[in-house]
Amino acid sequence: MKQHSPGFLAIVEESKQHIQTISPQRLQDMLQHNPLMKLIDVREGDEWVLGHLSQAIHLSKGIIERDIEKNIPDIKTPIVVYCSGGFRSALVAYNLHKMGYSEVYSLDKGMQGWIECGLTIENELKS
């Protein structure tokens, strides 16, 4: 597991005070029952290619605030963001909340939590 700096962990913890997180099981249920929900992978492009959740779109943390309104103009659209471990997605969820998006969730433990629950991912590097 990565060792994150204390400053980074502090802003993540502050962000988590203002956002909603969801479990992988709840996300799986939402994906099956809410066709309007948008799932966004906020990791970097090289991480996306190695594997991502099947219904996700890719908007990395570096560009999401710039591009979210073009991709999801309705601020009432349910959005779930995820990264590898739930840290970057917490920061993104907080920023989207501050931008006016009213139903934003961060996937608890990110993709690691998804995989730990035995759920599948897609891989761009299929042979």
Nearest to 53 by CA among 75, 74, 84: 84
Catalytic pick among 39, 83, 96, 107: 83
Nearest by Cα to 113 from 93, 87, 91, 95: 87
Based on the residue annotation, tell me whether 83 is a catalytic residue of this protein: yes
CA distances, 64 to each of 6, 115, 127 (Å): 24, 24, 30
Catalytic site positions: 83
